[in-house]
Amino acid sequence: MYRILKPGLAKEMIEQACKIVLEKGIATRNTTLLEKAGRNGMLAVRNGRIYPSREIFESCLGQLKNNKVPQGDSSGNHHGWPDMLINKGEDSDVVIRITDLPYQYCNHESHRIVPLTRQQVIEGTKLLHVLSESQNIRGYSCGVPQDTHACLKAIEQYLIGFRYNRNGGGTIQSIAREAEADFSRIRAIAEELEHPDQRELMLFSPSPLMLDTDDLWMCFRKDVMITRFMTGSMPMMGMTGPVNPVGIYILSLAEVLGAASILHALLPFAQAYVYPHPQAMSLQTGQMAFGTVEHARLEMMKIGIMDALGLPYYNVKDIMTSAQMPGAMAQGDKALGFFTGIMAGYRAFNLMPLSTDQVWSPVQALLDIKNLQNAWKVMEPVGAEGRAQESARLIEEVLNAKSLFAENADTLLHMHDHYDVETLHRRFFTSESWAEAGRPEELVAVEEKRKELLAEWDYRPPQEKLGKVIDLYRKLCKKCNTEPLPLE
């Protein structure tokens, strides 16, 4: 494990972030939040800013250190933002998750990116189911369908996961207010929730030092109970925060800790989690830049900073690229993310195929899974105890018998232990053999693998659950004057 931060630096950064929160407070444009804060003895309001008291701030810091990620369902799934975090030391093997954020589709054959359709989400979700069954890949759906009513997009994403994937449905998209109650009833049935009035909120706010997000309204509803919330921030180096990596993390820490302490005062029975997530930018466009050296360094810093906070969890490592198509840029960006992530100590990864987190590409997803598995495997320790002596005896045995290693029983028994037989690419080791095969494109073999895996799909959720969920969904579609998906 390689620690990029110098000893003691992370603790100093945290101290400076805490000082900034207490002295500068957190701004908001949410009038209800200001009113609630103004009536709370642990908070002070001045000029549109909320100042947590030292007492509530330290109480929040103490709670953060005790809040592990909840257990999840029987497969470890949470069906929402807690999937973005993972407890320290739970598994020794790599955890691979496929993102469900895309809203576009990559057709690499025609070199086009188009809005993601319901049918494409269904097909991608079936692929995720097969990968989950065969390789324990985690994920719910491959993205958000765009060819439906706006208030149904996230709900249909959830339903497609529930219908076509054994992991069930999941979404971290905001749910329209007019559909939130119906969606909660759907989730309660699908996930067998004992308390359908409970909610878990993810609140990412703009920078610098603000608590202002669309889902804040949920905090003030009297008919629901917020059981957990996560505050996050994504300031950009040199744009909405300091240009240096240390400074941008101090700001991001101040933002998430300040927001968490305010909500801790208002929602004292809810468990708080934080997600400092600063980003690099493109010097050409000012947009967030992923797959770059600057982004990789920030991600390497993050796991050490969350450890210095004393948190019992860390974030699942996002693997992103700014490439729009499978190719050299995508593979280079992903390789940088894989190896720097493993070096920093990450063991859980969230794969985002193309264009940051916008574009679903089944081909790129398969490449990412295989390449991450390869990167993890190549780092495994070599040689069990006694292997050197055992190997010396084997060499002596073959030499004495004047035989071939290729025909030795040990070779036949252990060939698959030392070679990867689940290959994705069709490799040619000479230009002549490639030419004789008709000079095939590299992605042809990956596309063939996708079709082969898709043909293995076979899943249906419990009929009673499915029937109840479909009934609620059809009523929602009627309200929205939209043709429902045929989920039977």
Q: Which residue has the tokens 């080791």?
A: 429
Task: Kindly report the backbone phi and psi dihedral angles of residue 209, in degrees, each rounded to the nearest multiple of 5, phi listed first.
Answer: 50, 60
Among all chains, which residue has been given the structure tokens 């629901």?
224
Cβ-contact 348, 357 below 8 angstroms: no
**Running DSSP on this structure, what letter comes out for residue 241?**
B
Comparing CA positions, the residue from 108, 132, 78, 173 lying closest to residue 324 is 108
Strands (E), 186-309: 198-205, 225-233, 271-276
Contacting residues for 295 by C-beta, under 8 A, at least 6 apart: 279, 280, 289, 320
- The β-bridge relationship of strands 317-319 and 95-98 is unpaired
Overall pTM surpassing 0.85 (yes/no): yes
CA dist., res. 88 & res. 93, Å (int): 12
> Do 57 and 261 meet the contact criterion of CB atoms below 8 Å apart?
yes
**SS3 for 124?**
helix
Question: Hunting for tokens 């450890």 — which residue is that?
Answer: 307
In CATH, which superfamily holds the domain spanning 1-73+191-312? Trimethylamine methyltransferase-like (3.20.20.480)
Residue 255, helix vs strand vs coil: helix
List the structure tokens of 412. 């036949």
Tokens of residue 152, six digits = 């149904």
Distance of CA 327 to the CA centre of its chain: 22
| 367/98 Cα distance (integer angstroms) | 12
pLDDT by 10s per residue, the chain, length 488 = 788 999 999 999 999 999 999 999 999 999 999 999 999 999 999 999 999 999 999 999 999 999 999 988 878 899 999 999 999 986 678 999 999 999 999 999 999 999 999 999 999 999 999 999 999 999 999 999 999 999 999 999 999 999 999 999 999 998 988 899 899 999 999 999 888 888 999 999 999 999 999 889 989 988 889 999 999 999 999 999 999 999 999 999 999 999 999 999 999 999 999 999 999 999 999 999 999 999 999 999 999 999 999 999 999 999 999 999 999 999 999 999 999 999 999 999 999 999 999 999 999 999 999 999 999 999 888 877 888 999 999 999 999 999 999 999 999 999 988 888 888 888 899 999 999 999 999 899 999 999 999 999 999 999 999 999 999 999 999 999 999 998 87
Beta bridge partners of 232: 204, 275
Which element (helix H / strand E) includes 454?
helix 442-454
Q: Where are the domains of the chain?
A: 1-73+191-312, 74-155+316-380+423-488, 387-418
* CA–CA gap between residue 143 and residue 153 (Å, rounded): 10
CB within 8 Å of 482: residues ≥ 6 apart: 148, 149, 152
CB-based contact 251:208 (threshold 8 Å):
yes
Cα of 402 vs its chain's centroid, Å: 55
Alpha-carbon gap, residue 149 to 152, rounded angstroms:
5
